């Protein structure tokens, strides 16, 4: 059986495509659907089904656009209740793609409707399982998302369902099956995902902590929930978009892909209370930027940080991008449901300055300069990394305020005295600095290159502890 994976690094998501005898199926499509249509056309195939493993939280699926363009039927697992026409499969229901068979296995736990699809070739041999967010390589899906939408659910109840699904539906399958998960390392849908994108089920039974044969349900629940951080705020909003429907990507692009002269840009920013989002490199932002703009660089973990920090997918947004990156930025925002982009600054920062508008900057020093002055100034050092990174090693006496929680821990940021700010490599600290400046904090000094640069500059750090050993 031939199955193709399509990955996007920004959200570590995989969509799948299979074709047999002129019929094709897409599993969990991304929002840009034209590549799937082009692929099917090249194969002289008609897309017959769009299989969804569950209502996704971390991205807006392309199921509706793809169905409208191709006439393919959307398929969900048992208990799903979308606000559009779809086949709600029964447990063990089979679907034909040419001579291939797709069998729906209801595997609730990550969400109530979560479904794994068993792939069977023309000879009746079971080839693999598309597991969605039920089973990852090295991990399983987090069980705390559906509780945001169903009041009487708890993460403990969902964890128990997931335990039963894994033991009763997946683990009894053949060890030689290939596991095709929805996500790899970097996704917020789990906590311990491998960078590998596929594996055999047999090997996962050996190495995946959640598939230990002697594990009790209580042990599974405890280990699964231990260290599970809060999901990004935009997750429930994406779930609702995937259930209720959304504007087509073409509609979003037509509105957002609008070049605005500086004066019009400023007027819309004020009238619409739009957030100005600067996606250039952090070094460029530090040197010069539009006052009160927020930095989240396109080259980094862009979409998850947008979702975690902007939070409201309906927030009006204006863009400042590197030349030629406007469409990519709009598309990547739309993938995670941020559809209210109103346009971008034509000519970028140079046009802004030429029109007579002021710019701002962030005080920034090299790691070497920090090393030479830190003991003389005694300024507070704020570390913007995650708690696990901070615990592993940090500058002595530094204060940990993770970027993820800057909106809720703002009171902990020094207000009346200068302070140093750093992260791991220089990306997250500039995001935090931009948020703080927009809220009236102008007293931070960014340390370039983060902890890696600080370490190389000879600054003594606390004794390193491998994060994987931390509880």
- Exposure of 151 by Cβ count < 10 A (0-12 exposed, 13-18 middle, 19+ buried)? exposed
pLDDT at position 375 is 87
Q: pTM of the full predicted structure?
A: 0.89
Using the predicted structure, report yes or no on whether residue 227 has a pLDDT greater than 90.
Answer: no
pLDDT at position 471 is 38
**CA separation for the pair 277, 306 (Å, rounded):** 9
Percentage of the chain beyond pLDDT 90 is 83
Give per-residue pLDDT as tens, 80-133: 999 999 999 999 999 999 999 999 999 999 999 999 999 999 999 999 999 999
**CA separation for the pair 55, 61 (Å, rounded):** 8
Domain spans in the chain, listed from the N-terminal domain onward? 2-237, 247-355, 364-469
Give per-residue pLDDT as tens, 397-445: 999 999 999 988 999 999 889 999 999 999 999 999 999 999 999 999 9
pLDDT at position 466 is 58
CATH C-level class of 247-355: alpha beta
Using the predicted structure, report yes or no on whether residue 195 has a pLDDT greater than 90.
Answer: no
Return phi, psi of residue 37, to 5°: -65, -45
- Contact criterion met (CB below 8 Å) for 46 and 218: no
- Residue 361, Ramachandran bin (φ over 0: left; ψ between -120 and 50: alpha; else beta): beta
Return phi, psi of residue 385, to 5°: -80, 175
Q: Where are the alpha helices (DSSP H) in 73-196?
A: 155-165
Give per-residue pLDDT as tens, 285-335: 999 999 999 999 999 889 889 998 998 999 999 999 999 999 999 999 999
Percentage of the chain beyond pLDDT 70 is 94
pLDDT at position 311 is 86
pLDDT at position 187 is 63
- Contact criterion met (CB below 8 Å) for 238 and 59: yes
- Exposure of 71 by Cβ count < 10 A (0-12 exposed, 13-18 middle, 19+ buried)? exposed
For the ranges 231-245, 274-288, 421-435, 443-457, which has the lowest average pLDDT? 231-245
Going by pLDDT thresholds of 50, 70 and 90, the confidence category of residue 149 is: low
Using the predicted structure, report yes or no on whether residue 216 has a pLDDT greater than 50.
Answer: yes
If DSSP codes are grouped into helix, strand and coil, which group holds residue 399?
A: strand
Using the predicted structure, report yes or no on whether residue 468 has a pLDDT greater than 70.
Answer: no
Going by pLDDT thresholds of 50, 70 and 90, the confidence category of residue 231 is: confident
Going by pLDDT thresholds of 50, 70 and 90, the confidence category of residue 469 is: very low
Going by pLDDT thresholds of 50, 70 and 90, the confidence category of residue 191 is: low
Residue 234 structure tokens: 């935009």
Topology of the domain comprising 2-237? Metallo-beta-lactamase; Chain A (3.60.15)
Taking the CA atoms of 48, 54, 55 and 61 in sequence, report the sign of the dihedral they define: negative
Give the best-scoring range by mean pLDDT among 151-160, 220-229, 281-290, 407-416: 281-290
pLDDT at position 303 is 87
Q: Note whether 247-355 and 364-469 share their fold.
A: yes
pLDDT at position 228 is 82
pLDDT at position 146 is 73
The label of the residue with tokens 């193709």 reads: 4
pLDDT at position 11 is 56
- Crossing angle for the helix pair 155-165 and 217-225, nearest 10 degrees? 120
Going by pLDDT thresholds of 50, 70 and 90, the confidence category of residue 470 is: very low
How large is the average pLDDT for residues 223-240? 88
pLDDT at position 185 is 61
The label of the residue with tokens 């031939």 reads: 2
Q: Using alpha carbons only, what angle is made at residue 102 by residues 96 and 107, rounded to the nearest 5 degrees? A: 145
For the ranges 221-230, 234-243, 271-280, 440-449, which has the lowest average pLDDT? 221-230
How large is the average pLDDT for residues 30-37? 94
How large is the average pLDDT for residues 192-200? 79
Mean pLDDT computed over every residue of the chain:
93
If DSSP codes are grouped into helix, strand and coil, which group holds residue 376?
A: helix
Given the candidates 3.60.9.10, 3.40.250.10, 3.30.2270.10, 3.40.47.10, the CATH classification of the domain at 364-469 is 3.40.250.10
């Amino acid at each position: 059986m031939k199955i193709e994976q399509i990955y996007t690094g920004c959200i570590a998501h995989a969509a799948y495509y299979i074709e047999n005898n002129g019929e094709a199926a897409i599993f969990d499509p991304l929002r840009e659907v034209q590549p799937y249509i082009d692929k099917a056309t090249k194969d002289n195939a008609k897309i017959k089904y769009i299989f969804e493993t569950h209502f996704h939280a971390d991205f807006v699926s392309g199921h509706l656009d793809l169905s409208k363009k191709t006439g393919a039927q959307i398929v969900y697992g048992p208990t799903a209740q979308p606000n559009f026409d779809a086949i709600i499969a029964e447990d063990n229901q089979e679907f034909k793609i040419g001579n291939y068979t797709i069998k729906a296995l209801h595997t609730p736990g990550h969400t109530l409707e979560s479904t794994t699809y068993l792939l069977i070739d023309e000879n009746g041999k079971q080839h693999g399982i598309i597991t969605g967010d039920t089973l990852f390589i090295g991990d399983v899906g987090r069980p705390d998302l559906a509780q945001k939408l169903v009041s009487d659910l708890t993460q403990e109840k969902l964890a128990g369902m997931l335990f039963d699904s894994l033991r009763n539906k997946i683990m009894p399958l053949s060890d030689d099956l290939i596991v095709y998960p929805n996500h790899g390392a970097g996704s917020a849908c789990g906590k311990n995902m491998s960078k590998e994108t596929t594996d055999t089920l047999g090997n996962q039974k050996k190495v995946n902590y959640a598939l230990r044969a002697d594990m009790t349900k209580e042990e599974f629940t405890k280990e699964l929930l231990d260290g599970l951080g809060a999901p990004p705020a935009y997750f429930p909003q994406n779930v609702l978009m995937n259930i209720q429907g959304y504007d087509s990507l073409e509609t979003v692009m037509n509105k957002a892909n609008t070049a605005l002269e500086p004066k019009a840009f400023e007027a819309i920013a004020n009238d619409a209370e739009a957030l100005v989002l600067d996606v250039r490199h952090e070094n460029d932002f530090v040197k010069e930027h539009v006052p009160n703009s927020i930095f989240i660089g396109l080259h980094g973990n862009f979409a998850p940080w947008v979702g975690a920090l902007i939070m409201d997918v309906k927030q009006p947004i204006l863009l400042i991008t590197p030349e030629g990156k406007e469409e990519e930025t709009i598309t990547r925002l739309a993938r995670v449901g941020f559809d209210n982009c109103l346009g971008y600054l034509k000519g970028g920062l140079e046009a802004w300055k030429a029109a007579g508008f002021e710019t701002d900057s962030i005080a920034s020093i090299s790691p070497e300069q920090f090393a030479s002055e830190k003991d003389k100034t005694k300024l507070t050092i704020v570390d913007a990394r995650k708690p696990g990174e901070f615990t592993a090693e940090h500058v002595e006496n530094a204060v940990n305020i993770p970027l993820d929680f800057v909106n809720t821990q703002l009171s902990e940021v020094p207000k009346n005295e200068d302070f140093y700010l750093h992260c791991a490599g220089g990306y997250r600290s500039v995001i935090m600095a931009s948020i703080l400046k927009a809220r009236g904090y102008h007293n931070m000094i960014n340390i370039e290159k983060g902890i890696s640069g600080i370490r190389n500059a000879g600054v003594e750090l606390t004794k390193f502890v491998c994060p994987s050993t931390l509880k």
